[in-house]
Amino acid sequence: MKFQLLINGELVNGASQRDIINPATEQVVASSPVADNKQLEAAVLAARQAQKSWAALAMEERGECLKQLASAVESNGAEIAELITLEMGRPIGLSHFEVQLVLKSCAFYSAQRLDPEVLLDDANMKVAIQHVPLGVVAAILPWNAPLYLAINKMAPALMAGNTIILKPAPTTPLATLKLAELASSIFPKGVVNVLTDNNDLGPALVKHPDIDKIAFTGSSATGKKILAAAAGDLKRVTLELSGNDAAIVLGDVDVQAVAPALVFGAFFNSGQICAVIKRLYVHESIHDELCAAMAAVLSQAITGDGLNPDTHYGPIQNKEQFDKVKDFLHEAQVTGNIICGGKVPEGRGYFIEPTLVSGLSDGDRLVDEEPFGPILPIIKFTDIDDAVDRANRSPYGLGASVWSADLQLAQDIGQRLEAGTVWINQHCAIDPSIPFPTSKQSGIGVEAGRAGLLEYTNLKVFNINKNS
**List 16, 37, 199, 411, residue binding ligand NAD (CB under 6 A):** 199
Whether residue 185 contacts residue 214, with contact meaning beta carbons closer than 8 Å, is answered with no
**List 23, 89, 135, 243, residue binding ligand NAD (CB under 6 A):** 243
Helix pair 174-184, 146-159: axis angle to 10 deg: 30
- Residue ranges in 269-357 assigned as alpha helix (H): 287-299, 319-335
The conformational region for residue 237 under phi > 0 = left, psi -120 to 50 = alpha, else beta, is beta
**List 143, 148, 328, 403, residue binding ligand NAD (CB under 6 A):** 143
Question: CA-CA distance, 226 to 230, in Å (whole number)?
Answer: 6
- Residue ranges in 356-438 assigned as alpha helix (H): 365-368, 384-392, 407-415
Q: Say which of 240, 353, 370, 447 is annotated catalytic.
A: 240
Minimum CB separation of residue 214 from ligand NAD in Å reads: 8
Question: 3-state class of 168 per DSSP?
Answer: coil
Which of the ranges 112-120, 121-129, 137-145, 279-287 carries the binding residues for ligand NAD, by CB under 6 A? 137-145
Which of the ranges 58-66, 214-222, 287-295, 332-340 carries the binding residues for ligand NAD, by CB under 6 A? 214-222
**List 177, 274, 290, 379, residue binding ligand NAD (CB under 6 A):** 274
Q: Which residue, 82 or 240, has its beta carbon nearer to ligand NAD?
A: 240
Residue with the CB atom nearest ligand NAD in the bound state: 202
Residues in 335-394 at the binding interface with ligand NAD, rule: CB under 6 A:
370, 372
Residues in 75-134 at the binding interface with ligand NAD, rule: CB under 6 A:
none
Residues in the chain: 468
274 is catalytic: yes
Question: 3-state class of 41 per DSSP?
Answer: helix
Q: φ, ψ for residue 166 (rounded to 5)?
A: -95, 135
Give residue 118's identity as a one-letter amino acid code: V
Residues in 424-453 at the binding interface with ligand NAD, rule: CB under 6 A:
442-443
Q: By CB under 6 A, tell whether 271 contacts ligand NAD.
A: no
Whether residue 440 contacts residue 241, with contact meaning beta carbons closer than 8 Å, is answered with no
Minimum CB separation of residue 23 from ligand NAD in Å reads: 13
Give residue 7's identity as a one-letter amino acid code: I
Question: CA-CA distance, 288 to 348, in Å (whole number)?
Answer: 35
Q: Say which of 65, 106, 274, 428 is annotated catalytic.
A: 274
Q: By CB under 6 A, tell whether 226 contacts ligand NAD.
A: yes
Minimum CB separation of residue 143 from ligand NAD in Å reads: 5
Considering only CA atoms, give the Rg of the chain: 23
**List 192, 241, 378, 388, residue binding ligand NAD (CB under 6 A):** 241
Q: φ, ψ for residue 359 (rounded to 5)?
A: 80, 5
Q: By CB under 6 A, tell whether 240 contacts ligand NAD.
A: yes
Q: Which of 243, 202, 173 is nearest to 436 (CA)?
A: 243
Q: Which residues of this protein are in contact with ligand NAD, per CB under 6 A?
A: 140-144, 167, 169-170, 199, 202-203, 206, 217-219, 222, 225-226, 240-243, 274, 370, 372, 398, 442-443
Q: Which residues are known to be catalytic?
A: 240, 274
